[in-house]
């Protein structure tokens, strides 16, 4: 890939990661969406998933968002959810790649192998990448993201994933737990100081990442979608106190569609929110009332089988200087297994 020359004419463009779905499957079965009520891992309709992925990618590109494609790796099907890759500094501040810092995640064991793929791709594209102490579980911007004048840091109880006996049919259940260690909050606070962090506890395993229950959107990310039942009551009170009338509470039905797992985008004063298809007309109307244009995309195969929707499928690299001659890595990075690169 061509590295940008500081004197070369360039534009600033929202840039994101998307993971090639050629090997998308349920491998670890590490969240409640990936398994049936009997605990069996679900089977992905890969042909449908690829079609849905293509539509989302083209939707982003039609909005003038630059997509960097993460090459597929058969042993790491979770690469289709690059929101878990880590987090980029100052995503809404326009700057060169070299001025940004990308902090890699420490993913749960069944997805730990993804880190090396993200590190290689990002460094190839000129990003400055850092790692954190491996003793701390941290799943990136899925649990750490800007919202108005604060950063929201979401976390929950970490569990050893396992089956346990219970009364009922079937006579067992699976314990999943959450994904990010509360103890990492001071480290993250130092990275974004003086911007404050608001800690928010998660309580529903089906909403195991913060970006499945909360979504900041609109101008300066001041508006907030919230699914109350997924948030610890005391922390819901903090959100209400801080965001006030900027909160839109999600219904149970919209929450099941992962309405909060949406991608916000602002361009030349126009604001968009890309949501999963199936959310209610009432919610779409409320979003329009905030002077934001909702765009819906069907990514049902990724939610029903993998437990991730629109935002999970997008890693936000922020507003970056892109040279006139720079190509996306979809054109410059080969697949790990020699398969044709997806366009």
Quote the tokens at residue 246.
């900027």
- Angle ∠(160,212,165) on CA atoms, nearest 5: 30
- Shortest CA distance to 110 belongs to which of 72, 147, 84? 84
Q: Is residue 258 part of a domain?
A: yes
- Angle ∠(3,132,193) on CA atoms, nearest 5: 85
Q: Is residue 276 part of a domain?
A: yes
Quote the tokens at residue 208.
């195991």
CA atoms within 13 A on the CB side of 297: 27
CATH number of the CATH domain containing 220: 3.75.10.10
Q: Is residue 333 part of a domain?
A: no
Write the pLDDT tens digit of every residue in 297-314. 999 999 999 999 999 999
For residue 286, give the H/E element and its range: helix 281-289
Q: Is residue 341 part of a domain?
A: no
pLDDT of residue 323: 61
Do residues 302 and 28 touch, judged by C-beta distance below 8 A?
Answer: no
pLDDT of residue 240: 98
Distance CA(317)–CA(94), nearest Å, equals 11
Quote the tokens at residue 224.
């907030």
Q: Is residue 334 part of a domain?
A: no
Tally of structural domains, the chain: 1
Phi-psi region of 192 (alpha: psi -120 to 50; beta: other; left: phi over 0): alpha
- Model pTM score: 0.91
Q: Which residues contact 245 (CB under 8 A, 6 or more apart)?
A: none
Cα first-last separation, the chain: 16
- Angle ∠(23,27,30) on CA atoms, nearest 5: 130
**Strands 128-130 vs 101-104: parallel, antiparallel or unpaired:** parallel
**Strands 197-201 vs 247-249: parallel, antiparallel or unpaired:** unpaired
Sites in the chain below the pLDDT cut of 70: 1-10, 323-343
Write the pLDDT tens digit of every residue in 235-270. 999 999 999 999 999 999 999 999 999 999 999 899
Which domain, by its residues, includes 179?
Answer: 10-323
Q: Which residue(s) pair with 192 in the sheet?
A: none
Distance CA(77)–CA(96), nearest Å, equals 30
Q: Is residue 5 part of a domain?
A: no
Do residues 126 and 97 touch, judged by C-beta distance below 8 A?
Answer: yes
Place of tokens 């929110």: 273
Q: Is residue 329 part of a domain?
A: no
Query: 285-293 — which CB contacts under 8 Å span 24+ positions?
Result: 286/248, 287/217, 287/248, 290/217, 290/218, 290/223, 290/248, 291/218, 291/219, 292/217, 292/218, 292/223
Place of tokens 């730990």: 112
For residue 174, give the H/E element and its range: strand 172-175
pLDDT of residue 89: 86
Q: Is residue 148 part of a domain?
A: yes
């Amino acid at each position: 890939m061509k590295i940008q020359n500081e004197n070369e004419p360039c534009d600033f463009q929202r840039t994101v990661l998307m993971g090639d779905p050629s090997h998308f499957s349920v491998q670890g079965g590490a969240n409640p969406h990936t398994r049936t009520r009997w605990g069996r891992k679900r089977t992905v309709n890969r042909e449908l998933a690829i079609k849905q992925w293509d539509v989302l990618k083209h939707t982003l590109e039609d909005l003038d968002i630059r997509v960097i494609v993460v090459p597929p790796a058969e042993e790491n099907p979770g690469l289709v959810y690059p929101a878990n890759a880590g987090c980029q500094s100052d995503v809404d501040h326009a700057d060169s790649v070299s001025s940004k810092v990308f902090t890699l995640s420490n993913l749960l064991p069944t997805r730990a192998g993804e880190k090396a793929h993200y590190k290689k791709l990002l460094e190839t594209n000129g990003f400055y990448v850092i790692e954190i102490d491996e003793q701390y579980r941290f799943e990136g911007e899925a649990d750490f993201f800007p919202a108005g004048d604060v950063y929201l840091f979401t976390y929950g109880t970490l569990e050893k994933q396992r089956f346990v006996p219970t009364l009922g049919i079937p006579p067992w259940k699976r314990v999943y737990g959450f994904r990010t260690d509360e103890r990492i909050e001071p480290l993250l606070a130092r990275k974004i100081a003086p911007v404050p962090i608001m800690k928010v506890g998660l309580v529903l395993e089906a909403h195991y990442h913060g970006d499945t229950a909360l979504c900041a959107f609109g101008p300066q990310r001041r508006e907030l979608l919230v699914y109350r039942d997924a948030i610890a009551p005391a922390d819901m009170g903090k959100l209400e106190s801080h965001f006030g009338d900027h909160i839109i509470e999600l219904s149970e039905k919209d929450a099941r569609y992962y309405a909060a797992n949406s991608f916000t985008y602002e361009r030349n004063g126009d604001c968009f929110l890309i949501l999963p298809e199936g959310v209610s007309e009432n919610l779409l109307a409320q979003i329009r009332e905030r002077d934001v244009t909702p765009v819906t995309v069907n990514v049902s195969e990724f939610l029903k089988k993998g437990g991730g929707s629109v935002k999970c499928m997008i890693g936000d690299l922020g507003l970056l200087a892109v040279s006139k001659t720079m190509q996306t890595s979809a054109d410059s990075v080969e697949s790990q297994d020699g398969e044709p690169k997806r366009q």
